Amino acid sequence: MADYVIIGNSAGGIGAAEAIRQVDREGRLTIISDEPYPAYSRPAISEVLARERALDRILYRPKDFYQRLGIQAILGTRAERIDFSAREVYLADGRRVHWDRLLLATGGTPFVPPMEGKDLLGVYTFTRLDDALALDQRLRPGSHVVVIGGGLIGMSVSDALVKRGCRVTIVELMDRILGTMLDPEGSALAEAAARRAGVEVITGHTVQRIHDDGNGNACGVTLDDGREFACRAVVVAIGVRPRIDLVADSPINVGRGILVNARMETNVPGVYACGDVAEAYDIIAGTTRVVPIWPAAYLGGRVAGLNMAGWPAEYPGHFPMNSLKYFGLKIISGGIQVADGDGYEELRHGDDQSYRKVILKDGRIVGATFVGNIDRAGIILGLMREQLDVSSLKEKLVREDFGLIHMPAEWRRQRLYGEYPTLKTPGLVLDRQAAVRSEVA
Amino acid sequence: MKRIYVKEEYCIACTLCEIHCLVQHSRSRDIIRAFKRETPRPIPRAIVERDGPNSLSLQCRHCAEPLCVYSCLTGAMHRDEQTGIILVDPERCIGCWTCIMACPYGVIRRGMYKGHPVAVKCDLCPDREIPACVDNCPNGALTFAEEAPHG
């Protein structure tokens, strides 16, 4: 009987736990997290800040999840150290947990640059429920909040702050917001939407210093051009880095994140990684890369879990893709947003408020942007996922009515009469009506 | 598990599948009321696609490895373990449209529930023996079966 240990209680860890339990009801399964909460929807912490939902309404799984799956959940206790030869995890409270198969699903850590005042009270990051709860307590009616970083997290926290009646200033170092997940046209529409909601957007600048009110509280900021703002809170939302402290000075190979193969296994047999901490295959980049998005974390976790439990499964790879719903705008984007270099072809359909764009290279979709009208975007992203040659469909791809009917009959037949090739799991037959049973084909 | 299969050569793009789906998923289950009186108007979960003379009616495939479920940020999208049907819990859906991004069939629609946007999709009509779209297809283009049709 195997001892499975998962460090991390978010999308990747839960994906692995569910996969393990689909094929092994017996093995001991432990999930360790330094957060004291049952798994919750991390992206939904903005709903908590906006006071639209409380914790019990952003739980990722039903209340009886751990019990029903026979999971020992060690929550609120940090994994401090891993002994890779004795195969033990050392916990902050002195306990040790033995593993035969280990999954590192520790996620990311927000990056806070060295900056005067970054440790003052009233300076937050925004990736955990506790961040949202702490910021919530700090706010007063009409508080001014400076958000450093105009990426996905910056937008999500700003949207919530506006709903709370705060004044918000976004300060983005790049010349446009959402610069890594949108083209300039999409960024301009997103910025216009944020401004319409009352947000002040400053691009091409950054915060140089956070002011101390004399009592250790943040009370304002100075930008790199000398401009000053008074504020009640600062949210640093510049980016997230793989949380790799647990594997520092360990035999685990690390690039930007923990390097894994198609089975999501590290160079140390029996040790796996997934999610924001891992560097797994990126279909569009054609190499391993950190793709810190929720869907990739779950899928990677699922592949890791199946392999941990002895079922061969292959990670098909992923690429960055995001859906944004902030400030009333609907945006879905995936892969390359700006075709930089030779051999790219751009297809676009729409007007100046709403458009669909696809970037092709060698007949394959390498990037897609949907602004305004996002319906059925997944069809295009699916073709991109599979890297099918869509040269013959070029005229139709960005049309609003594009569908399976336009695909070659063979592709359609497999999709409609067979199964979508989400994962390669040779030998594993999943019975839809018995999600926790399996058999050999 | 039974799924809905389409025989394209019999589909005449009449959209009766969409209409009966909408009525089935309305509060009144009355065609006139569903179209004229219900706000928001119920949304059909079957989609008719057309390309020149060709057409097909498309519904959720209830995938064995469902990307919508794997991608869902909140856990609202889930598989009912008794029936195998993929369902949305509207109480937990935050309308982030990550499922629309993930579904390679494009069969998840944007709807409303208690005043907030939620994903809506085919639930295989739990109150009926045969789903409304299949039952009302005038030309036998839709079947509800364990296996895909042959030929």
Domain count within chain B = 2
Which class is A3-109+241-308 in CATH?
alpha beta
Instruction: Give the CA angle between residues A93, A32, A130 to the nearest 5°.
Output: 85
Cβ contact A161:A233 at 8 Å: no
Residues of chain B positioned with their CB less than 8 A from the CB of A433:
1, 81-84
User: What ipTM was predicted for this assembly?
Assistant: 0.98
Average pLDDT over residues B81-85: 91
User: With an 8 Å Cβ cutoff, are B64 and A61 in contact?
Assistant: no
Q: Are B106 and B72 within one domain? A: yes
**Summary mean pLDDT of chain A:** 95
**Residue B45 and residue B15 share a domain:** yes
Task: Give residue-wise pLDDT tens across range B4-61.
Answer: 999 999 999 999 999 999 999 999 999 999 999 998 889 999 999 999 999 999 999 9
- A 332-361 residues inside an 8 A Cβ radius of B: 332, 334
Whole-angstrom distance, CA of residue A421 vs CA of residue B2 = 19
Q: Are A116 and A210 in contact (CB under 8 A)?
A: yes
d(CA A312, CA A298): 17
Percent of chain A surpassing pLDDT 70:
97
Closest in A298, A378, A430 to B104, CB measured: A378
**Same domain, residue pair B116 and B76:** yes
Q: Residue A359's pLDDT is what?
A: 98
Alpha-carbon span A230 to A224, nearest angstrom:
15
* Banded pLDDT at A439 (limits 50, 70, 90): very low
Do residues A245 and A252 touch, judged by C-beta distance below 8 A?
Answer: no
pLDDT of A10-40, one tens digit each?
999 999 999 999 999 999 999 999 999 999 9
Tell me the CATH number at B72.
3.30.70.20
Q: Are residues B117 and B147 located together in one domain of the fold?
A: no
Judge contact between A326 and A170, C-beta under 8 A.
no
Q: A330-407: CATH homologous superfamily?
A: FAD/NAD-linked reductase, C-terminal dimerisation domain (3.30.390.30)
Residues B46 and B78 in one domain: no
CA A269, CA A263: separation in Å to the nearest integer?
11
B97–A57 C-beta distance less than 8 A: no
State the DSSP string of A203-258.
ES--EEEEEE-SSSBEEEEEETTS-EEE-SEEEE-S-EEE--GGGTTSSS-BSSSE
Note down the domain range covering B114.
63-121
Angle B73-B75-B76 from CA coordinates, rounded to 5°: 105
* Interface contact A420-B56, CB threshold 8 A: no
In terms of domains, do B13 and B39 share one? yes
Our CA-based measurement puts residue A59 at a distance from the nearest CA of chain B, in whole angstroms, of: 7
Number of A/B CB contacts below 8 angstroms equals: 158
- Which tens digits make up the pLDDT trace of A129-185? 999 999 999 999 999 999 999 999 999 999 999 999 999 999 999 999 999 999 999
Q: How far is the C-alpha of A356 from the C-alpha of A183, rounded, in Å?
A: 11
Tell me whether the CATH fold assigned to A123-238 matches the one assigned to A330-407.
Answer: no
For B23-42, b where at least 16 C-beta lie within 10 A, e where not — what string?
A: bbbbeeeeeeebeeeeeeeb
Domain regions of chain A by residue span: 3-109+241-308, 123-238, 330-407
Q: Are residues B44 and B91 in the same domain?
A: no
Which of residues 44 through 83 in chain B touch A, CB cutoff 8 A? 47, 49-51, 54-56, 58, 61-67, 70-71, 73-75, 79, 81-83
Cβ A53 vs Cβ A340: under 8 Å: no
Residues facing A281 on adjacent strands = A288
Give the model's pLDDT for residue A433. 56
**pLDDT the model gives residue A37:** 98
Considering the segment(s) A123-238 as one domain, its CATH architecture is 3-Layer(bba) Sandwich (3.50)
Strands of the A218-223 sheet, one edge to the other: A207-212, A218-223, A228-230
Q: How many residues does chain A have?
A: 441
Residue A425's pLDDT band (cuts 50, 70, 90): confident
Say if residue A310's pLDDT is above 50: yes
Rounded mean pLDDT of A281-296? Answer: 97
Interface touch B100/A332, C-beta < 8 Å: yes
Q: Are residues B76 and B117 in the same domain?
A: yes
Q: How many CB atoms lie within 10 A of CB A34?
A: 18
